[in-house]
Amino acid sequence: MPKSTELQWLEFESPWECQPGKVRVMQSAEEISRDELAKRACRDELKRPYIFETVFERRMHFSNEATQSAMLFSDPNALISQYTRKMMAFLLFNPNPGRIVMIGLGGGSLAKFCYRHLSRSQITVVEINEDVIAMRDEFCIPKDDDRFRVVHDDGARYVERLEEQMDVLLIDAFDMDGIAPSLANSDFYSSAARQLTENGMLVMNFWGPCERYVDNLAQARAAFGDSLLLVPVAGDANVLLFAFKQAPPQAITDELEAVAQRLQMRLLLDFPRYLRRICQGISLSDPQTSAESQMAEAFCVPVQRMEKE
């Protein structure tokens, strides 16, 4: 697996006995020994993204508590995480999107998958963290070309300034403490709804402390009305928000089932199941989830409707 020749790395053996492997940290202007870095890693005090890798996979971390992104050496373009696979369910409603905008690059799992399989789509990925962009070669993210580019910018500001319409907006944007705060502290959701095409949709990954959920959900509801569904991801602490410009599906039609079967054969993902889970999603138009506190509770308590993956 190639490593970037432009970056200088400090590498040391994993300081965690239960997780054998190697830790790699980009060198900075501060002179730090490997021993000191290992101690900081144990204390979860590394101040910038780092790589943890085994013989099988490479992972990006912002902190020790959670994996930001993962890549298999045997298949760099595979979607490893359950939630990334389920985010691809937007294809059920638009199998041939013309323009996709992604907020949050990470290790590029969604970007690589879409670039490989959606050859007619123009893909723009917006990432605020320069260190994350600097790692793109480490995760085999494609070079910029006529249908793919990575933009260094704040995702909320980028969407607010956007003039062209988009068919799909995928959001997987976090800092060390949870959902990127700029998404809720702006006109982001109203801008997103305005710039989506007539049949466009937004798919957002929610993860981390629930304190940041309420404002995001309240603003999403103000922008999209009742066309929102929350879809839990079994086995993960993730919940996906699907926001539709049109009314969300209420039932599985023969047409949708046929689309799901075709997508499953082409992409080898379980689209028929994704379709069922979306149709069973938690609607924010339900009375029990209408208040902001109840919307947050939908994330923070065990969800009985969560399916077995």
| Partners of 168 in the β-ladder | 100, 201
Contact between 26 and 131 under an 8 Å Cβ cutoff? The reply is yes
> In this predicted model, which residue has the larger pLDDT, 144 or 176?
144
For residue 242, the number of C-alpha atoms closer than 13 Å in the C-beta half-sphere is: 29
Both tokens of residue 196?
Answer: 């989506």
Instruction: Please compute, for residue 244, the number of CA atoms within 13 A of its CA located in the half-sphere on the CB side.
Output: 22
Instruction: Give 292's pLDDT tier (boundaries 50, 70, 90).
Output: low
Q: Please compute, for residue 284, the number of CA atoms within 13 A of its CA located in the half-sphere on the CB side.
A: 31
Q: Which of 25, 53, 72 is the last residue of a domain?
A: 72
Can you give the residue range of the structural domain that contains 208?
Answer: 82-300
Residues 21 and 113 in one domain: no
Q: What is the mean pLDDT of the chain?
A: 87
**Rounded mean pLDDT of 281-297?**
59
* Identity of the residue numbered 30: E
Residue with tokens 């490593």, as numbered in its chain? 3
* Predicted local distance difference test score (pLDDT) of residue 154: 95
For residue 115, the number of C-alpha atoms closer than 13 Å in the C-beta half-sphere is 23
Among 166-175, 177-186, 257-266, the range scoring the smallest mean pLDDT is 177-186
Same domain, 179 and 269: yes
Residues 89, 17 share a domain: no
Residues 6+ apart with CB under 8 A from 17: none
CATH classification of the domain holding 91: 3.40.50.150
- Asked whether residue 119 carries a pLDDT value surpassing 90, the answer given is yes
Q: Out of 172, 215, 254, 270, which one is annotated catalytic?
A: 172
Q: Give the pLDDT confidence of 98-114 residue by residue, as tens digits.
A: 999 999 999 999 999 99
Question: Looking at the domain assignment, is residue 306 inside a domain?
Answer: no
Identify whether 172 is a catalytic site residue.
yes
pLDDT of residue 306: 42
Name the domain count of the chain. Answer: 2
Confidence of residue 291 (pLDDT cuts 50, 70, 90): very low
Total-model pTM: 0.90
pLDDT digit string (tens) for 50-65? 999 999 999 999 888 7
77: phi then psi, degrees, rounded to nearest 5: -95, 0
| Alpha carbon distance 223, 220 (integer Å) | 5
Residues 64 and 189 in one domain: no
Does residue 194 sit in the same domain as residue 291?
yes
